Structure 1
């Protein structure tokens, strides 16, 4: 679906939710569309076809966190915070005020609180391999050998996940706890964003996101990683299952770059670099030159 078509979906949903003649300001429009309603302090999120259940659950997660005193993005409270437009789910959220990415210590403290909650019945099991098959298949820049290696690696990691080493008690997790998804407002409130991956699973899945910023990519120094695990009270890198979760996270990041390179040639070099790292062509961790994919 083209960007104008996604915007038209957003406009139709706005009318249903009670926002007439909306002024939509694009925040990010790709497979999904995220817009700000000018002068309304509302954010509109247009999801992919087939994601109605996930979009509805995200609203439920937000309300559950709010009821438990955990700061997170909040539903807008409009006439209809969930609208279906020709199979594309659209949700409405209160716009978060000025904020910055959370520090390692702030993220750890927020995760410790989240992981201490009792899981609600509507949360499903974490799906660490969601969409990876499709991204590998869609990787038009891959050589046949690299594509087969990715498929074999995915199969091996799936088998490893079924035998994951025991760790911290399973419970509610954010599922995608990067610094951009755990932010701190000007008032000093650390807040969870992007709740679509919230699920039940090993807390280590969330902790690995920050751990590999140090161990895999060298994005943060030892002192900052230490502040993270000390604030949480547990160093996930000492757990026997860490290497498996690290490898899954790295594979997810690589497959995302591979998919992006198919439509944006400027990302092809980054996708190949990530794959070369995973295949041992670059040397041991920490690897340099892993750059964000917009």
Structure 2
């Protein structure tokens, strides 16, 4: 456990009257999750994410009155507890579950994208390039020429995104819709992690799974067909698909670069992804893309 986040957890629990003495680390990553006694989960953000945590609470409280099954905030908390620069939110622990399927993701997105935002729901516009530049700059282990290439590619895609062709009307989007953010319980699938929730093109959510078929080959044609049938649309037929696909691929590569900065064993995977983007590994789908934590 991180000494820093356990200290944050202690102070946040004291403020809301929760017992932290038997806290158990569930996951350490972009956010640290701790299981507390009484069926409560504490989520500790990285520094500087207070507004994103507040947004998650607003959105999930609203979703509780819709047909979209989503994680539920604990108690009456309507704002995160702020300790230093970190935001702490508390959630009802999910019942026994496993990772959702791709069709679960499609079904939940179909319901989510059908919702009309209520008056007064203040959502930021989708930010598809959030933290990409920071990840490039932070990957000091990369060859300087490769980092320069990534910066140039980022600038190209930022320009191209501004000319994105028309598609499905903009609406509420999850922002990070993949199997890892869906929990399948005995009562059905539940959508989680609304940190990137925003107002934007629904295609962004769909491309997240599409790259698992067209880019990495992680999904078979049959699985992709089932996904499209469940949602009711094949995003790869849209004129703007390649733009969002390329942005997703860049995000996946810079995420690997960030992880490899602290875990040298992951550097080979990042270098492989980068070589694919640079055109040195033939055409898609590219083999040997493996998941990084």
TM-score range, shorter chain: over 0.9
Tell whether 2:170 aligns with 1:170: yes
- Contact between 1:104 and 1:224, CA under 8 Å: does it hold in 2? yes
Normalized against structure 2, the TM-score is what? 0.95
Paired with 1:20 and 1:191, the residues of 2 have a C-alpha distance of: 26
Structure 1 unaligned segments of length 5 or more: list them: none
Paired with 1:69 and 1:249, the residues of 2 have a C-alpha distance of: 29
Normalized against structure 1, the TM-score is what? 0.95
- Contact between 2:54 and 2:78, CA under 8 Å: does it hold in 1? no
Residue number in structure 1 paired with 2:197: 198
Paired with 2:268 and 2:40, the residues of 1 have a C-alpha distance of: 37
Paired with 1:80 and 1:143, the residues of 2 have a C-alpha distance of: 45
Cα distance, 1:282 vs. partner?
Answer: 1.1
Paired with 2:183 and 2:44, the residues of 1 have a C-alpha distance of: 22
Q: Secondary structure at the match of 1:91?
A: strand
Residue number in structure 2 paired with 1:19: 18
Tell whether 2:250 aligns with 1:251: yes
Q: Give the superposed CA RMSD.
A: 1.5
Superposed counterparts of 1:44-193, under 5 Å: 44-77=42-75, 82-120=80-118, 121-187=121-187, 189-193=188-192
Instruction: Kindly tell me the number of residue pairs found equivalent between the two proteins.
Output: 291
Q: Secondary structure at the match of 1:53?
A: helix
- Contact between 2:67 and 2:111, CA under 8 Å: does it hold in 1? no
Cα distance, 1:140 vs. partner?
Answer: 1.4
Paired with 1:160 and 1:281, the residues of 2 have a C-alpha distance of: 23
Cα distance, 1:35 vs. partner?
Answer: 0.8
- Contact between 2:164 and 2:240, CA under 8 Å: does it hold in 1? yes
Superposed counterparts of 1:267-282, under 5 Å: 267-282=266-281
1:197-241 per-position Cα deviation (integer Å, ceiling 9, x unaligned): 111111100000111111111111101100110111110000010
Cα distance, 1:82 vs. partner?
Answer: 2.3
| Change in 2 beyond 3 A, CA 1:168/1:21 | closer
Q: Secondary structure at the match of 1:67?
A: coil
Q: Secondary structure at the match of 1:286?
A: coil
Paired with 1:20 and 1:206, the residues of 2 have a C-alpha distance of: 37
Structure 2 unaligned segments of length 5 or more: list them: none
- Contact between 1:170 and 1:203, CA under 8 Å: does it hold in 2? yes
- Contact between 2:57 and 2:78, CA under 8 Å: does it hold in 1? no
| Change in 2 beyond 3 A, CA 1:207/1:256 | same
- Contact between 2:116 and 2:171, CA under 8 Å: does it hold in 1? yes
| Change in 2 beyond 3 A, CA 1:202/1:260 | same
- Contact between 1:17 and 1:80, CA under 8 Å: does it hold in 2? no
- Contact between 1:214 and 1:221, CA under 8 Å: does it hold in 2? yes
Paired with 1:263 and 1:103, the residues of 2 have a C-alpha distance of: 30
Paired with 2:79 and 2:23, the residues of 1 have a C-alpha distance of: 16
| Change in 2 beyond 3 A, CA 1:86/1:151 | same
